Amino acid sequence: MTQQNARAGIWLAVVAMFVFAMQDGISRHLAEEYSVFMIVMIRYWFFLFFVMAVSKMRTGSVATTARTEQPFLQFFRGVLLAAEILVTVVAFTMLGLIEAHAIFAVYPLMVAALSGPILGETVGWRRWAAIGVGFIGMLIILQPGFKVFSPYSLIAVAGAVLFALYNLLTRLAAAKDNAATSFFWTGVGGFVIMTAIGPFFWEPMSPIDWRWMALLCVTGATGHYLLIKAYEKAEASTVQPFAYLQLVFASMLGVTVFGESLPLTTAAGAGLIVLAGIFTLWREQKAKT
């Protein structure tokens, strides 16, 4: 990997995080007016076309990309991600972008904590210490005794758990399938489950909000495309720490567009989570070398 490619990969990741933050803002706007099931269903309709286009471009055949020895695992991954998106969008409306993202940022630490029992990976004491620091950061945000039992806060925690499980199952699937196959099944699983549920929650949408819906679909596809290109340019260990910029961009959007506040406890807790997460990623990469 050349320095130029690494720099290009980092910039692609930064732009992808900005696009994903804009997507989260649009999701919050639409979910405040319409059923989250309908919004996520329409989003997956568009996303499936994007996934199929990427599959065709990468392997020349959708059927070739879809071929897998573990269809149940791959399909379940897609369902898990759809459930995570549903839960997290609800958290945006209940908590706001800032607090929901601050809590959600703990998911890499959950991945590290669960990689031992689920994947059989060894987690050293340094990473366990970082995981502990990150969870202290989450408790600072939740404010034990005041908000920790709030169902709204627990919604964001549930979203982080679901995304951590999705990441762990993605690692498990990678033992037999390549990234293109896993990406394809991510779209298929979400499309099937949301199309089975979403029509029951259909609501009329105003013309202006249909435009926002279209923009939501485009930002989702654009963000994933940019991230794919980022991982093509640079190694995952180089790109992953910049995923935390989504928290920064979403917080800026929450303050400037939605009038949210940034409490000192949330900023301090999020800072601990991000530092612990970056350290965990670094230790994980070092353990592999």
Phi, psi of 88 (to 5 degrees): -70, -40
Cα–Cα distance, 176 to 31 (Å, whole number): 37
Query: Is the pLDDT score of 148 beyond 60?
Result: no
Cα–Cα distance, 265 to 153 (Å, whole number): 14
Query: Is the pLDDT score of 236 beyond 50?
Result: yes
Cα–Cα distance, 190 to 39 (Å, whole number): 13
Phi, psi of 74 (to 5 degrees): -65, -40
Cα–Cα distance, 11 to 197 (Å, whole number): 37
Position with higher pLDDT, 129 vs 201: 201
Position with higher pLDDT, 153 vs 33: 33
Cα–Cα distance, 271 to 274 (Å, whole number): 5
pTM of the model: 0.89
Which of the four pLDDT bands, split at 50, 70 and 90, describes residue 56?
confident
**Nearest residue to 48 via CA among 202, 173, 192:** 192
| The two three-digit tokens of residue 46, written as one number | 């568009």
Cα–Cα distance, 270 to 137 (Å, whole number): 6
What's the confidence (pLDDT) of residue 131?
A: 81
What is the torsional sign of CA 140, 144, 146, 152?
A: positive
Query: Is the pLDDT score of 119 beyond 50?
Result: yes
Which of the four pLDDT bands, split at 50, 70 and 90, describes residue 147?
very low
Structure confidence by residue, pLDDT tens digits, 74-88: 999 999 999 999 999
Lowest mean pLDDT among 138-147, 233-242, 255-264, 278-287: 138-147
What's the confidence (pLDDT) of residue 145?
A: 52
| The two three-digit tokens of residue 116, written as one number | 């031992």
CB 269 within 8 A of CB 139: yes
Which residues have a Cβ under 8 Å from the Cβ of 212 and sit 6 or more positions away? 26, 29, 30
| The two three-digit tokens of residue 128, written as one number | 């366990």
Cα–Cα distance, 3 to 238 (Å, whole number): 11
Cα–Cα distance, 10 to 1 (Å, whole number): 13
Structure confidence by residue, pLDDT tens digits, 197-233: 999 999 999 999 999 999 999 999 999 999 888 888 8
Query: Is the pLDDT score of 117 beyond 50?
Result: yes
